[in-house]
């Protein structure tokens, strides 16, 4: 099975459809699958539900899909850097399902592991728990959260081999590993594809069995918040 594709257009050619659920890796602008997101924008696929820790920023990352009115619903934790997200939400043009970060990561991990649901204390007694089943264990109340299975996972890694084994670099190892496992199909973009056998097995973060397609490309790696010191007098 050849997993290596020439570019994002080839890798996504027969996978996108209106109304699909996409799990996207990344945190802020760190480790986001920017090439795959740009191709989804170019294809104009609409009515999307996207599970992602955040929604990018205005004009970049998932923010492009929001501006292009391709997203129907976001399943997210933090969306404070995107003014268009706020405008769409307040105008009731975007449905939002807020999840605590750990809960969202575990929902993805559980979906990839075939676990339909789990109980957590996070969110008990808040709006997060409204309409959800709760249960007491040893005198403590927990809320039931469902495992998340997406139609498509899109992630960004540092290195991969042709079998799809992925290595993430530093902070990019955030939501990417759980997002990669929870999709019926996973497409990964990487900075470098190395020969089979050259990756240390102990350094592989996501086994290739979860990854169906790979592309290699150049990445902008935009900085979300740039803070510098004032020049000395």
The tens digit of pLDDT for each residue in 180-232 reads: 999 999 999 999 999 999 999 999 999 999 999 999 998 877 666 677 888 77
Give a yes or no: residue 113 inside a domain.
Answer: yes
% pLDDT > 70, the chain: 97
Q: How many domains does the chain have?
A: 1
Token pair in block for residue 147: 């495992």
Residue with tokens 């927990």: 142
Residues 16-34 have pLDDT tens digits of 999 999 999 998 888 999 9
On the question of pLDDT at 82 being above 90, the answer is no
Element of type H or E holding 145: strand 140-146
Q: Is the pTM of the predicted complex or chain greater than 0.85? A: yes
Helices (H), the chain: 8-12, 34-43, 63-67, 83-90, 101-112, 176-181
Q: Is residue 38 in some structural domain? A: yes
Burial class, 121, CB count within 10 angstroms (exposed 0-12 / middle 13-18 / buried 19+): exposed
Report residue 212 as tokens: 């169906």
In a domain, 229, yes or no: no
Which domain CATH number covers 103? 3.40.1080.10
* Domain assignment present for 67: yes
88 near 63, Cβ under 8 Å?
Answer: no
User: In terms of residue numbers, what domain contains 36?
Assistant: 15-155+182-188
Any domain includes 74: yes
Look at residue 113 and tell me whether its pLDDT is greater than 70.
yes
> Has residue 162 been placed in a domain?
no
| Residue 8, in any domain of the structure | no
What pLDDT is stored for residue 233 in this prediction?
67
In a domain, 56, yes or no: yes
């Amino acid at each position: 099975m050849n997993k290596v594709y020439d570019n994002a257009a080839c890798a996504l050619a027969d996978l996108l459809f209106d109304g699909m659920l996409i799990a996207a890796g990344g945190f802020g602008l760190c480790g986001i699958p920017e090439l795959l997101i740009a191709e989804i924008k170019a294809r104009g696929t609409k009515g999307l539900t996207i599970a992602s820790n955040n929604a990018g920023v205005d004009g970049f990352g998932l923010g492009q899909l929001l501006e292009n009115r391709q997203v129907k619903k976001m399943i997210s934790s933090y969306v404070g850097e995107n003014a268009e997200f706020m405008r769409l939400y307040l105008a009731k043009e975007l449905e939002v399902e807020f999840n605590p970060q750990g809960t969202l990561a575990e929902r993805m991990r559980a979906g990839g592991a075939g676990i339909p649901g789990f109980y957590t204390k996070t969110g008990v007694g808040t709006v997060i728990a409204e309409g959800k089943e709760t249960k007491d264990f040893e005198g403590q109340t927990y809320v039931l959260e469902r495992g998340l299975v997406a139609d498509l996972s899109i992630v960004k890694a540092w290195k991969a081999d042709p079998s799809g084994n992925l290595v993430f670099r530093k902070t990019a190892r955030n939501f990417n590993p759980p997002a990669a496992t929870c999709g019926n199909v996973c497409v990964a973009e990487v900075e470098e594809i190395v020969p089979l056998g050259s990756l240390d097995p102990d350094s592989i973060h996501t086994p290739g069995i979860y990854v169906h397609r790979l592309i290699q490309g150049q990445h902008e790696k935009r900085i979300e918040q740039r803070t510098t010191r004032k020049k000395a007098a």
